Amino acid sequence: MTPRRRRMTLVIAILAGVSIAGALALSAFRRNVTFFFDPTQVAAGQVPVGERFRLGGMVTEGSLRRAPGSLEVRFVVTDYSHDVPVSYTGVLPDLFREGAGVVAHGRLAPNGTFVADEVLAKHDEKYMPPEVARSLKRRHGESRQEATPAAAGPQGAPPQPPQAPVSTAAPPTAGAGS
C-alpha cells in the first residue's frame, strides 16, 4: 500500500470510528437525549417518575379552556394515538394555537394531568402567505370527511395534521409599540 493510500485509509478509519462511537453514545444516552416525550410514551409509562420532563405533541382542536377568574388554562396534547390533559397557569406564547404543535415542561400529577410550568409553541416548517393558508384550509375542510388523521410516529417531531392551522398570524404582545 502506498503511503498516500495508507493515509487515506487512516482518515477514513478515523471518520468511521468517530461516527460509530457517536452513534453508540447517542443511542446509549437516548433517554437523557430525549428532548420531549410524546403522549404515547406517557401512556406507556416511559416518562421519568416524579421528575420534570417535557411533553410534546399537538394541541387538540377545541380543547382549550380558560378557568373563569384565573390565569389557568387547560388543553389536551395529542399525538393522534393518545391524549394527555394539560394544566398551565401563565401567559401562553403568541404562536400557541389549537391544532398546532406545543412543547410543555412540567410534571405528571397522580390524576394523569400534566401540570406545566412552561409552555412553548412548536411551529411547522411551512411558510405561506395568509391567503394561501386560507384557501388550503377551505380545501381541506371540504375533504375532511375522507381525510384520516396522521398516525403518531415512534420518534421525531409530532405529526402535523393534514390541514393548515386554524387561525392567521396575530401580532405578538411582547415588544409591540401600539
CB 104 within 8 A of CB 77: yes
Within 13 A of 81's CA, how many CA atoms are on the CB side?
16
Query: Whole-angstrom Cα distance, residue 140 to residue 42?
Result: 30
Within 13 A of 13's CA, how many CA atoms are on the CB side?
6
Interface segment toward another protein; rule CB under 8 A; list 31-39, 44-52, 61-69, 108-116: 31-39
By beta-carbon proximity to another protein, the closer residue of 33 and 44 is: 33
Which three three-digit cell numbers place residue 157? 417531531
Residue 34 CB, nearest approach to another protein (Å): 6
Query: Whole-angstrom Cα distance, residue 170 to residue 95?
Result: 8
Amino acid at 78: T
Site string for another protein, 56-95 (x = CB under 8 A): x------------------------------------xxx
The values of phi and psi at residue 13, to 5°, are -65, -40
Q: Does 164 bind another protein (CB under 8 A)?
A: yes
Single residue of 43, 64, 120, 150 touching another protein by CB under 8 A? 120
Q: Does 139 bind another protein (CB under 8 A)?
A: no
Single residue of 39, 106, 161, 165 touching another protein by CB under 8 A? 165
CB 83 within 8 A of CB 149: no
Number of residues that bind another protein (CB under 8 A): 53
Residues binding another protein (CB under 8 A) = 4, 7-8, 10-11, 14-15, 18-19, 22, 33-38, 56, 93-96, 103, 118-130, 132-134, 155-158, 164-165, 168-172, 174-177
